[in-house]
Structure 1
Amino acid sequence: MKKLLYSLLKKPFFGRFNKPWRWPDDINQADWKRLSFKSESGAKISALVAESLTEDIKGAVLLCHPMGVSAKGFWLRYGHAQLLRQSGYHVMVFDFNGFGESGSTNMDFPLDVLAAGNALQNQYPNLALGLIGASLGGAMSVCAMTSPTHPFKAAVIESAFPTLMHFWRPYPLPKLALQFVQLIYPSGEKRVRPVHAANILAGRPDMLLIYGEADKFTTVAHGKLLFDALKRNTEAEFWQVEGATHTHAYAAQPKEYESRVLSFLEKSLVLT
């Protein structure tokens, strides 16, 4: 009964993304090792891990995908994973529950981030861990970092909404469904509210927030709300990207993205 209820609640938000996952074109599948592990959300999570392409290993990075049928393939398709591997980082991509090849349970997505982070740390126990999350992945990553057991020293958060309502307000059916969730399960909705999470971060991970000037879904103003909350509790930077649409700062400004993101990770992922 509970599984059916969660399925009905998730449908207005994510139903159109429940399609079979496919490898992005032109990706060498042999570079990637498959992993699966259990999340406390109850789902079996599907992940891929690839090693750095250099011998100078600087850390390991978890990539948390935005909403979309491509799910974990987003990072392969648009080159983020390759950039990190060429720059000295081991990389893990994974599917949130209900996306890609992962099982579907509830909407407690921060638990999936924690499970993936712990799985990556188990793969590389002697390395510092960073995180890059976009949209849904960025927002749920901020929420995951309220847990005292999270393994992340630094996070790059792109196009993350400050609250679910900020993102879904323009869409009548998801907005109504969210209002219903807030009514029947207010504590659950609060757990996935990034501006609330910003006040109770654990471990003070360094943060780089990225928002596109051409983003119609999570605007620069939305980003500033989250940034203002985060900078009260940790070291946070804000990059406003000219010409960037939702989750596509790398495509809009590739050279500056490389410079900013790689220098941020190299500075922050230092084991002490």
Structure 2
Amino acid sequence: MNKHQQSNGWLAVTFSKLFIRVMFRHVQGWKKDAPSRAESFIEVGLDGSHLEGASVYTTTVRPRGVVLMCHPFLKYGMHYFFENNLDKELLSQGYHVVTFNFKGFGRSTIGGHAFADDVLAIARRISRQFPMLPIHLLGYSFGGYHLSHALARDSTPFTSAVLDSVPISVRSYFTRGPLRIAMRWISGSWLAVPTGTGPIDLSLSCVHNLPIAYLYGRDDRYISEADVVELTHSCNTLRVIGFDNCRHLENHKKHRDRYFEEILVFFTSAETLSRPVPA
């Protein structure tokens, strides 16, 4: 087992599941049906979690690909994307959109302890349903954090990944009170891998030949310019895109046209790179 694989020892699993339940107290219990434009599903995760998800299909005759969206740490879970109409922008450009609730959010159960498992389980569902289409990842904050750890374990299903407003370390997000002490200890201990709390630069530095873009707001209090520089040193193929006057998760709100232009150009470039060259 390499350093990026999850530990399945009983102590790690027990502690991690307890950690999730304590950390998620304020987001658990909020449930909402997917909008009428979406097709709901339940996928059994790699750890036995029942993951609530939704697929929205483009009406384009020849779909360009599938975008798997991973939600931020908000009680709304996957509904963050529907409420902000982020799926509609991608649908209009010929992409199917698939999103889901991580374990502990909405109707998703907690069958295990690794959020990276959730990303890979949904990706495998997409691969079965659309075996010939490229799969792009789009992760926001918490979702992008665990997306990064998933890539270190298996990047083969994906054509590209975009990280939006993703702190490099959990230590920059938890800055006060008892949680700060707990997170600083956990993220630096043997529990960092099973809880998914290790810094993302360690995971991304092990991902090769996959185009990755990192989007951040220059006024995001969880992401410093020094953090961004350190991340680019760890992952030298990373494409970094900064947005002025944007705080956490504000990039798509304050610069919507440029935001989607950057993402769509990046997807197109990645698809070109992954396309086999004719003999």
Equivalence map 1:122-271=2 (5 Å) = 122-148=128-154, 150-168=156-174, 170-181=175-186, 182-183=188-189, 185-188=191-194, 192-201=198-207, 203-231=208-236, 235-270=237-272, 271=275
Change (3 A) 1:187 1:61: closer
1:75 corresponds to which letter in structure 2? F
Are the aligned partners of 2:55 and 2:97 in contact in 1 as well (CA < 8 Å)?
A: yes
Are the aligned partners of 2:16 and 2:195 in contact in 1 as well (CA < 8 Å)?
A: no
Instruction: Name the CA distance, whole Å, in 2 between partners of 1:136 and 1:242.
Output: 21
Instruction: Name the CA distance, whole Å, in 2 between partners of 1:209 and 1:105.
Output: 30
* Cα distance per residue 1:160-218 (max 9 Å; x no partner): 122222322x13222233245344625435774311102211x5210111000221223
SS at structure 2 position matched to 1:152: coil
SS at structure 2 position matched to 1:204: coil
Counterpart position of 1:42: 48
TM-score (norm 2): 0.85
Are the aligned partners of 2:119 and 2:150 in contact in 1 as well (CA < 8 Å)?
A: yes
Which of 21, 28, 34 is residue 18 of structure 1 equivalent to? 28
Aligned residue pairs, count:
263
Structure 2 unaligned blocks of 5 or more: 1-9
Change (3 A) 1:11 1:191: closer
Change (3 A) 1:145 1:72: same
SS at structure 2 position matched to 1:104: coil
Change (3 A) 1:113 1:95: same
Structure 1 unaligned blocks of 5 or more: none
Instruction: Name the CA distance, whole Å, in 1 between partners of 2:232 and 2:31.
Output: 33
Residue identity over aligned pairs, in percent, reads: 19
Change (3 A) 1:191 1:67: closer
Instruction: Name the CA distance, whole Å, in 2 between partners of 1:72 and 1:102.
Output: 11
* Cα distance per residue 1:226-263 (max 9 Å; x no partner): 233122xxx32111101222122111101111211111
Change (3 A) 1:69 1:76: same
Which of 58, 65, 86 is residue 52 of structure 1 equivalent to? 58
Instruction: Name the CA distance, whole Å, in 1 between partners of 2:85 and 2:209.
Output: 29
2:28 corresponds to which letter in structure 1? N
What displacement does 1:147 show?
2.2
Instruction: Name the CA distance, whole Å, in 2 between partners of 1:59 and 1:220.
Output: 33
What displacement does 1:106 show?
4.2
What displacement does 1:224 show?
3.3
TM-score (norm 1): 0.87
- Alignment RMSD (CA, Å): 2.3
Instruction: Name the CA distance, whole Å, in 2 between partners of 1:129 and 1:81.
Output: 15
